[in-house]
Structure 1
């Protein structure tokens, strides 16, 4: 299977768009509200929103990948969706590691 240079350029452009917008606007605004004046959402709500967004992103990615395997769908959309899912997974893993590290640091504290 030979892929044209136009397809390569479209995939590269889609990947660049993915890299520039890691967080959705909803998650970014929830995090800003949590860090701000206190009139926004709580940390738990922001975390819940981020988790729900990650789950939804994963579901959409699976659907697009399945459509691609069936010969349907746009290659650029599939690559973009997979890249976004990879970034979400890496972010979730990093946050999990930081939470575990923080918990271990608290447990080592002397009272």
Structure 2
């Protein structure tokens, strides 16, 4: 199993818990806003970690395995963000096509 498959499987496993609502909890705007904020924070942390690992590898000769892992996670995060953006744009375009 390559690094991408492993990271994708790990990310999928973590995402499954996010799709199920908590027992007895009703969805509210603040929960959705908090979830979105947490997703953005997680994305930012992942990208910054990849940048730190790349700088460390170039300057101090850090562990190449850690660098590859961090860059693969960063690539997966960017691909996920692009996919979400594309879906939002598609939904917006679909709303624009609705007859009034």
CA distance in 2, matches of 1:110, 1:80: 48
Return the alpha-carbon distance in structure 2 between the equivalents of residues 93 and 39 of structure 1: 26
Inter-partner Cα distance in structure 1 for 2:88 and 2:58: 37
- 1:109 aligned onto 2:60: no
Name the CA distance, whole Å, in 1 between partners of 2:13 and 2:52: 20
Superposition RMSD in Å: 2.8
Give the structure 2 partner of residue 70 of structure 1: 59
Residue 60 of structure 1 corresponds to 49
TM-score (ref. length: structure 2): 0.78
Matched with 2:68 is 79
Partner residue of 1:44 out of 27, 33, 37? 33
User: Normalized against structure 1, the TM-score is what?
Assistant: 0.71
Question: Which has the greater radius of gyration?
Answer: 1
Task: For structure 1, list consecutive stretches of 5 or more residues without a partner in the other structure.
Answer: 1-11
Q: Which runs of 4+ in 1 moved over 4 A?
A: none
- Length, aligned pairs only: 97
Deviations 1:44-91 (A, max 9, x none): 221221111000011111001000001332111110000000000000
Q: Which runs of 5 or more structure 2 residues have no equivalent in the other structure?
A: none
